[in-house]
Amino acid sequence: MSVIAPFPGAWDRRPVATFDRKELTRILDLYGRMVAAGHWRDYALRIDDPEVAIFAAYRRHSERPEIRIEKRPALRTKQGAFALIGEHGAVLKRGHELGPVLAPLERRLMRLVG
């Protein structure tokens, strides 16, 4: 005999953390400039966990990510939804808006090109 699984309704779904279009455009713009400078070569986007969305940038595809940009909407009222996390897991910057969180990477890009 077969078992019929109920189709999930709107009340069963939890909201999933994702980057919106403006945030993703800003992140991919920074990624493109870092690739053009020869610093990054690969990236990964992880949105399978409903509580966190992660953008990771790699120097080479076989290493740990050099940086991770995380968005945790549950922390938006406390310490900020966005976090910049370094290669070894240390939180480099945290904030409510994406621009100030990406500022350390923007400064590093200016030194690489200039």
pLDDT, tens digit (0-9, with 9 covering 90-100), for 80-109 = 889 999 999 899 999 999 999 999 988 877
**What burial letters (b/e) apply to 64-88, b meaning 16+ CB within 10 Å?**
ebbbbbbbbeebeeeebbbbbbeee
CA angle 56, 60, 61 (to 5 degrees): 65
pLDDT, tens digit (0-9, with 9 covering 90-100), for 44-77 = 999 888 889 999 999 887 678 999 999 998 888 8
Helix pair 98-113, 21-36: axis angle to 10 deg: 10
Give domain limits for the chain: 25-108
Amino acid at 11: W
pLDDT, tens digit (0-9, with 9 covering 90-100), for 69-81 = 999 988 888 888 8
